[in-house]
Structure 1
Amino acid sequence: MSWLWAIIVGLVLGLIAKAILPGKQQIPLWLTVIFGILGSILGNAVAAWIGVADTKGIDWIRHLLQLAGAVAIVAVGDMLWASMKGRRRTRA
């Protein structure tokens, strides 16, 4: 996978993950892309582990696993980002 394709997929998955999660996420766009890329990698690893990485036609299960990975990473990353930003504000 080329870097450009990874960034595009990461952006799309990250934005969809942010739309699925309830409430407003505080993470910036660049971090959303990174979390989307990491979710894609996680979903691909899980798909390979359960044996559905390569199927005939469209790999719907793999894509759903990528999205689930992105949702999980965006949720955890948003909590960490909010806690880091909260600590910075109290010191200033």
Structure 2
Amino acid sequence: MEFIWFLLIGAVSGWLAGQVWKGAGFGLIGNIVVGILGSIVGGWLAGNLGIGGEGLLGRILISAGGAWLLLFIISLVKKA
């Protein structure tokens, strides 16, 4: 059951990051991949800053923030 929640949080946070970044999502698989990678980045960053993601909404926001940061970094690398 944990794995299903992990995928759902990844899909939602990837979709949110896609909405903020380019105005549209990346499709179901793309949203899950971006969201999962974003949750890793966001969780690492939040842990180092001492920010805790309490509850479902907190986890989604941290994951979406990490996904957005990941997309921002990728866009900088692509421009270079």
Given the two structures, how large is their TM-score scaled by the length of structure 2? Answer: 0.66
Which structure has the bigger radius of gyration?
A: 1
Residue 18 of structure 2 is matched in structure 1 by 18
Structure 1 stretch displaced more, 31-40 or 3-12: 31-40
Take 1:32 and 1:47, find their aligned partners in 2: how far apart are those partners?
Answer: 21
Kindly indicate whether the alpha-carbon contact (under 8 Å) linking 2:13 and 2:61 is maintained by their aligned counterparts in 1: no
Take 1:52 and 1:39, find their aligned partners in 2: how far apart are those partners?
Answer: 16
Take 2:28 and 2:70, find their aligned partners in 1: how far apart are those partners?
Answer: 14
Kindly indicate whether the alpha-carbon contact (under 8 Å) linking 2:40 and 2:63 is maintained by their aligned counterparts in 1: yes
Given the two structures, how large is their TM-score scaled by the length of structure 1? Answer: 0.59
Q: CA RMSD in A?
A: 3.2
Query: Unpaired runs of 5+ in structure 1?
Result: 81-92
1:1-92 superposed matches below 5 A = 2-22=2-22, 27-53=26-52, 63-74=60-71, 76=74
Take 1:9 and 1:60, find their aligned partners in 2: how far apart are those partners?
Answer: 9
Query: Unpaired runs of 5+ in structure 2?
Result: none
Runs of 4+ in 1 over 2 A off after TM superposition: 22-25, 57-66, 72-77
Percent identity between the aligned chains?
Answer: 28
How far is the alpha carbon of 1:72 from its aligned partner?
Answer: 2.7
Q: From the two aligned structures, give the one with the greater helix fraction.
A: 2
